Amino acid sequence: MRIISGKLKGKSIKFLKNSITRPLKDAVKENIFNILKHSNLIDVKIENANILDLYSGIGSFGIECISRGAKKAIFVEQDKIASKLLKQNLSDLAIINQSAVLNEKIENILDKNSDEKFNIFFLDPPFIDKSFIQNLILIKKKKIYKKKHIIILHREKKTNDYLDNIVDTLLTKKYGRSKIIFGIFN
């Protein structure tokens, strides 16, 4: 796995080879960043953005954001092995000072956070997981998003998650087995 663009372009990211985590494929990741940069529907810039990378795994999305000029990325990953590897990636890439890794349940982190606001929310929950909807509701309730923000959700193509009362969907793209939803809080 590699970093696609920015100051860390071409550098490798260590990833887990197990059935628990599902790394974001480079082609899907590249398409996400092309949409962020070029879509008229999205009014958020990666440069100087605050990123909240939930269900972050090894952190490929947030790391890519830092490489492309994001100010800071907060990674939340409950799995201890993935979290340890994520910290190693951040250290190896010398970007630990632009990030924080929280090895805890997302709900606990969101309950604690009240001051910090984010521009970009990336959620990549296990495909069978539905608790991410409650996490979106909590983010909205706590208002930890900036006026200009975007929510990017990675789901399995066949899932039908009811998000209408939480998120206004701007764009949905399908790539193989994956579906990427771009939205904002309504």
DSSP for 84-106 reads HHHHHHHHHTT-GGGEEEE-S-H
Tell me the per-residue pLDDT of 135-186, one tens digit each, with 9 for 90 and over: 999 999 999 999 999 999 999 998 888 898 999 999 999 998 899 999 999 9
Map tokens 């409650």 to a residue: 134
The Cβ of residue 92 has, within 10 Å, a number of other Cβ atoms equal to 13
Euclidean distance between CA atoms 31 and 26, whole angstroms:
9
Nearest by Cα to 64 from 10, 19, 106: 10
Tell me the per-residue pLDDT of 30-62, one tens digit each, with 9 for 90 and over: 999 999 999 999 999 999 999 999 999 999 999
State the first-to-last Cα distance of the chain, in angstroms, to the nearest integer.
35
pLDDT the model gives residue 113:
62
Of all residues in the chain, the percent with pLDDT exceeding 90 is 74
pLDDT the model gives residue 35:
96
Q: Which fold has domain 26-185?
A: Rossmann fold (3.40.50)
